[in-house]
Chains A and B, each alone.
Chain A
Amino acid sequence: MSTNRDNLKEFFSSTSGKIGSILLVLFILISVFVVFTYPLNFGNTIWSNPAYWSDYPKSAPPTWISIFGNENVEHQIIDFTSPVDIVPISNQEQRLYSYTFNYDSNISPTFLSLSMYDVVYHDRPPTISVSILRPDNEEVLIYREVISPPRPGEEGPYIRYSDSPFRINLSGDKSVSSNLIQFVQDKSNSQISVNDIVGSNEKYIFSAFSPTDSQEILTGEYKILIKFVTNSENDSISKIRFVLGGSSYGLLGTDSLGRNISVGLLFGFPIALLIGLTTSTITTMIGTAMGIISGYTGGRTDTIIQRFSDTLSNIPLLPILLFLIFIFGPQLWLVMTILVLFGWPGLTIIIRSMVLQINSSQSIEAAKSLGASKWRIMYRHIFPQLAPFIFAQLVFFTPAAILAEASLSFLGLGDPSIPTWGQILENGFRTGGVYIGYWWWILPPGLLIVITAMIFVFIALALEPVVNPKLKKM
């Protein structure tokens, strides 16, 4: 028997104890950060909301892979809020926005898009036009649009795009293609129809039209010119956003919906810890209580608990878990409840047999003959003897719960309102990420699951000699 301080010392003296604790602290810090910075309904409003991710490149690998020499286009989001110039033309007003950038990649952007936010006009609808001034001094008109006119019966001022911005995908828009077609025909000296270029408009906008390589890109200084023509100086537009889709994005790339994988994975930290720790804590509590009561009280209570836990612990977990979640619907709390429901009996059986051993020890006999009540004996004389073991069990059950949820999510039964690592991985798997080679979508979530589980396994390993001194000799 040794004191708590010795135990702690012993625990931290092992490598696995050190690694486990450091990683656990790190994971907890990340989780705290996420809890304070993410909205509560992150799953529904952000992660599962395709509109939120529309301006992100789809299935883009992480930016840092350009280190390995891959061709890369930087993802650029250009926001225009104040015009560089305001030119009055008769009773109209033309507001000019512009942005100059150097394009030196030899592949085109993956897509182009334009969004308008909060347009307010009072009289006639304003017009917007977007053109690009290329390094060869060609100004190409890409897009021209009149803001939607007043509806019959609508009174001014007319407010447009305030709830959600008006977004147009310039790469795939047919009107953009028809704006471009003349320019493309002139440049390439060939008869090309609108249908030929729609869907890859951005390639033609950035093309060098080289006779040898049709894919060649014109590098140099580009300038985006946006003209917003209004009839009243009171008319306003809060923001215009122009996006040059990159070929890579962020730390861990994006999925096929353009979702930033690193953002989703970060959200998974507190969720994984929550699933693991809550489930294992409740399971251990129930398992311990049942085990002690069953072992100490004996008699009919014991028989009932024993039969019950025998049967429950013998049910193969995954099939029944799949069945129940399928029937009741994928909800995280339900998954956790079922894990607890089928998890406690295993512990109860072990605790019971330990209690039976303790029961025959003379310290319990002594407590009984002193007149201690049965609750006092269970709580004060039996429980402390089991406490280290129970704690180790709690740690050991944590990864099991995390892995069970991940497996469930992987089989497509994850709670859609709460993104977890398992779900992100499943999305990748179901989209065929494995076959296409979206490794950034498959490896990181799996790795995080494994590392999280490993943290607790390491801690459990370091606890083992503390809990079970017999092992020290081996």
Chain B
Amino acid sequence: MKRTAKQADDAGHFRRDWLSVLVPAAGALAAVYLIAAPLAMLIYAAFRGPADFLPFEDGAQWTLDNVIAVFTDPIMLGRVLPDTLIFVAGTVTLTTLMAMVLAWIVERTDLAARNVWFAIIIFPTLAPIVVKAIAWILLMSPNAGWANLALRGLFGWSGEGPINIFSMPGLILCQALATTPFVFLQLSAALRSMNPMLEEASRGAGASPFTTFRKVTLPVLLPGLLAPIILVTLITFEQFELPLIVGLPARINVFAFRIYNELNPASGLPNYGGAAAISLPFLALGLLALVAYNYAIRHADKFVTVTGKAFAQKRLPLGRWRIPAYAFMTIYVALSAVLPVGILVWTSFFGFTPPGKATWADATLAGYASFFSNPVFWRAVFNSFLVAGLSALIVTLLGGLIAWIVVRSKAPGRGLLDALTFMSLGIPAVIAALAVMVLYLSLPIGVYGTVWILVIAYSYRLATATRLSRATIMQVHKELEEASEAAGARWLTTQARILLPLLAPGLMSAFLLLFIIGMREFTIPFVLYSQDNVVLSVLIWQLFQGGQPAHSAALGTLMLLMVAPIIFFARRFLVARGSGD
């Protein structure tokens, strides 16, 4: 029977409506599953015992023993919690100071070659922290560290030091060097957008650049500093690599490593319930910090001087502060980027023989040559790109979908969905790994130990993609979509042909950022490590731990060479340079 035009139109509309419900619903369910399911299993496991049983295992029963053990453990209260808080507080303070000074020098002064400095400052974000940690140990070990040897030789000092990386200050310094680029990016963007009128008035009154910075720039920016400070608190809170490699020799115990110890005790069975119980208070702290972060970013715009008027960015002459500024910049990039990379490359050819004691005859390519015939290397390369790329793709697409639901739809519960995805920012990586581990050990579907568990575990970071996509969608007036639907296009066609092209730059930014984070990730693949899912960051650590520093350094160098081109490509999408440069 032929249908009438109206009946055909109704059928098409019916199909369109279903898609506009089905696709977002599927995306929302996937997002909820990726975040909520592992967390729910983790919380459940905390209240199940005995501690080495999985929550659904035969014989497991409800218990408060795990939680009581955590809150009455004198070591947890007397060592782990204070160590963690001191580590976080020290890192946040030093990071904020360094990032603020760097951002101000780069964005507000007449520093030469600003673009080069900018690129060098953010370059270390590419390298896995495990690579930098090994280099920093070689550089700053108290007795034989190259920096200490140079300083003692220069000033004629005896004994050890003056820098001791194996101490709380040493750990804080390393963490701050690793974290500063992230805060620098945010602060430099804020400074670039800030109207310089107030600073010009200060200079016009005769104040020096430093006085202007101290009395004008800093107070204006201070409210807007809260968000990056909280963000670096979250980042530091979840740190695992540096406490493992640098902190443990100093007998500093942070909570991330405490959780790992429960999963890998000195002897005996893994303590899943105990690890889950330890996670609870730290998960709560992370989420509290996240609430504060959310509050901060909602209110920061009240204090910024960005207006709709265009302005010319006038730069402060450094004058007599030029030398101190260059000295600071040089020391920072030396410690954070140049020396670690240099040491890495040197060690890959010469092992531990320091410059000055090695000859060209000592150089060897053995570290590099060994990889190309090693199937484990190729497996790690493949796994790294697969996991980082696929998880970034999944998160980017889901993030875009959720952003559409939150901004465009009237779906009930979209506020909760938004809150849930944002909450993922406050979940430390070690807890995410533990939660996924407990979930997929309880669901023996053969995912555990494969590369797919890493893809799933990495895919909880929905906050980044959601936030970036939201910002872009909000800039696109819904009239465009409405016009498309009025012309008869189905929902999916409208999204694909109208909204997606406009969202593409934002989605690409999210994808690249998540890809970089995925490539350098260490905690999750280390906790979930198995023979088949080894990635480059874990292999670097295993080679170093296995007594092959030259091979470890060679692999670190190769990894940087593989990923470095991405930063130059990514900069076009992630960083928009201001006018007037």
Whether chains A and B associate is no
Residues of B with Cβ closer than 8 Å to A? Answer: none
Residues of A within 8 A of B (CB): none
